[in-house]
Amino acid sequence: MKALVTGCSGQDGSYLCELLLGKGYEVHGVIRRSSSFNTGRIDHIFNQLSLHYGDLTDASSIRNIVDTVKPDEVYNLGAQSHVRASFDIPVYTAEATAVGALNLLEAVKGTGAKFYQASSSELFGKVQEIPQSETTPFYPRSPYGVAKQFAFASTVNYRESYNMFACNGILFNHESPRRGETFVTRKITQAVARIYRGQQDKLFLGNLDAKRDWGYAPEYVEGMWRMMQQDAPDDYVLATGETHTIKEFLEVAFGYLGLRWEKYVEIDERLYRPAEVDLLVGDASKANRVLGWEAKTKMRQLAQLMVEADYELLAK
C-alpha cells in the first residue's frame, strides 16, 4: 500500500507517517520548500519516507506528485492551521486550507485512491447543540473555520459527484509534545517547564474561559486510518466527550510541577479572537460504534505528559 500525506512534517502528519510505516506502507510526504529545515518532527523517520516538494496552493505541483506517486490512500493534513492567525491572513488561509483541499481532490479524482480530509471542530464555532456530532449544523467563527467548511463540503461533493472514496474526520482538539509552540496547550506546557527551571517569568494568554475537548494526537491519527479502511466512505467525529476550560488546563499543567498558575499568567488582550468559540465538546459515539475507536487519554493525563516532555526537552 502506498500513502501520500500532505502536512507530513506537522504534529498529526508525523504521527500518521509513523503509524503507516508500522503497518508496512510505502509513505510519501509533501513538504514546502523553505530556506531552513522544517522537518524536525520527522527527522527520526526521514530515511523511511519519500518526500516531495509541493504546495497545496500550487495545483500543478500537487497533480504532478499524485501522478508520480500513484497512491492508494491520500491524507490531506496540510493547511494554514492556526485559528487566531487566520484573522490576520484570511486570504492565504482560504487558499491553503480551502482551495488547497480542492486542488488535491481534483488531482485524486479518477485515480481510484481513497481520500481523507482533515476537518475540524472549529466548523461548529457558535455551537448549535451540545455535544456536537456529525449531524450538528456548522457555524464557523473564523476564516480558518470557514475555509474548513469549504473543504468539508468539497469532500462530500466529490464523494457524491464522482463516486470517490472521500471521507472527513471532524477532529476535536488533539495535542501532544509535538504540538506547535504557538498553540495554547504547548505554549502553556513549555512555559511551565521554563518557569520551573527559572528561564521564564511570565506567560501571556488570551481568553481563559474558552472550553475545549482535548485529546491525544497519536490516538486520533489511528482514527484517521480506521476511517480509510471501511467498505464505504463516511464522515466521523473524533473527540473525548469531555470539555475543559483553558483555566483548568493551566491548573493541571502548573500543578504538575507544584506551581500556582495565578502567579505567572497575565492576560494580553491582543490574543483574543475577534469572534470567539466558547464551547466545544464532541460526541464520538458513531466512531466508537463503526470504527471501534475511542479516546483513551483525557485532559489531565495529556497536560501532565506534555509538561513532562517539555521539562525533559529543556534538560537536554
* Same domain as 256, residue 224: no
Residues in the chain with pLDDT values less than 50: none
Do 24 and 124 fall within a single domain? yes
110 and 151: one domain? Answer: yes
The single residue of 18, 73, 122, 175 carrying the catalytic annotation is: 122
* Cα–Cα dist 182/191, whole Å: 11
Report yes or no on 162 lying in a domain. Answer: yes
What residues contact 55, with CB distance under 8 A and at least 6 apart?
32, 33, 61, 62
Can 25 be counted among the known catalytic residues? no
Residues 145, 105 share a domain = yes
pLDDT score for 30: 97
Residue 203 maps to which CATH number? 3.90.25.10
**144 is known as an active-site residue:** yes
How many domains are there within the chain?
Answer: 2
119/162 same-domain check: yes
User: Hunting for cell 510519501 — which residue is that?
Assistant: 28
Domain presence at residue 247: yes
**Is 95 one of the catalytic residues?**
no
Task: Say if pTM beats, i.e. exceeds, 0.85.
Answer: yes
Do the domain assignments include residue 291? Answer: no
Give the model's pLDDT for residue 102: 98
Give the strand order in the sheet containing 50-53. Answer: 50-53, 26-31, 2-6, 73-76, 114-120, 166-171, 236-238
Say if 288 falls within a structural domain: no
pLDDT at 38: 82
Catalytic residue among 14, 61, 119, 120: 120
Catalytic residue among 75, 116, 144, 311: 144
119 DSSP β-pair partners = 170
Residue 316 has what pLDDT? 85
**What range does the domain containing 41 cover?**
2-174+215-238
Position 55 scores a pLDDT of 96
Closest CA to 132 of 173, 164, 94, 160: 173
> Do 77 and 224 have their domain in common?
yes
CA dihedral (228, 229, 233, 237) in degrees, to 10, reads -60
Burial class of 23 by CB neighbour count within 10 A (0 to 12, 13 to 18, 19+): exposed
Q: Distance between CA atoms of 245 and 108, rounded to whole angstroms?
A: 40
Same domain? For 205 and 140 the reply is no
Burial 29-62 (b: 16+ CB within 10 A, else e): bbbbeeeeeebebbeebeeebebbebbbbebebb
